[in-house]
Amino acid sequence: MKQSVAAERKNKMKWEENVRKVVPYIPGEQPREKDVIKLNTNECPYPPSPMVEKAMEEMQYQDLRLYPEFPEKTPLAAHLAKYHHVGEEQIFIGVGSDDVLSMAFLTFFNSDRPVFFPDITYSFYDVWADIYRIPYEVRPLDKNFRIRKEDYIGKNCGGVIFPNPNAPTGVLMELSDIEEIVKANSDNVVIIDEAYIDFGGTTCLPLLEKYDNLLVVRTFSKSRAMAGGRIGYAVGNEKLLRYLNDAKYSVNSYTMNRPALRLGAASVKDEAYFQEICGKIVRTRERSEKELAALGFTFPASYGNFIFASHEKVRAQEIFERLKEKHIYVRHWNKARIDNYLRITIGTDEEMDALFAALREIIA
The DSSP bridge pattern shows strands 115-118 and 159-163 to be parallel
Among 40, 102, 213, 219, binds ligand PLP (CB under 6 A): 219
**In this chain, which of 37, 40, 91, 98 binds ligand PLP, going by CB under 6 A?**
98
- Helix, strand and coil percent figures for the chain, each rounded to 5: 45, 15, 45
**Residue 198 binds ligand PLP, judged by CB under 6 A:** no
Pick the closer one to ligand PLP by CB: 122 or 136: 122
The radius of gyration of the chain from alpha carbons, rounded to an integer in Å, stands at 21
The helix/strand/coil state of 215 is: strand
Whole-angstrom Cα distance, residue 132 to residue 236?
A: 22
Q: Where are the beta strands (DSSP E) in 164-294?
A: 190-193, 214-219, 232-236
Please pick, from the candidates 68, 158, 159, 232, the single residue that binds ligand PLP as defined by CB under 6 A: 232
CA distance 100 to 122: 14
Minimum gap (Å) between residue 230 Cβ and ligand PLP: 7
Among 36, 131, 227, 247, binds ligand PLP (CB under 6 A): 227
Residues 78-97: x where in contact with ligand PLP by CB under 6 A, - otherwise, as a string: ------------------xx
Least spacing, CB of residue 172 vs ligand PLP, in Å = 13
Residues with Cβ < 8 Å from 221, sequence gap 6 or more? 42, 43, 96, 97, 195, 227, 229, 230, 231, 232
- Give the residue at shortest CB distance from ligand PLP: 96
User: Which of the residues 167 through 196 are near ligand PLP (CB under 6 A)?
Assistant: 167, 193, 195
- Rounded to a whole number of angstroms, the minimum distance from the CB of residue 224 to ligand PLP is 10
| Nearest distance, CB of residue 167 and ligand PLP, angstroms | 4
Smallest gap from Cβ 6 to ligand PLP, in A, equals 32
* Residues near ligand PLP, by CB under 6 A: 42, 96-98, 122, 163, 167, 193, 195, 219, 221, 227, 232
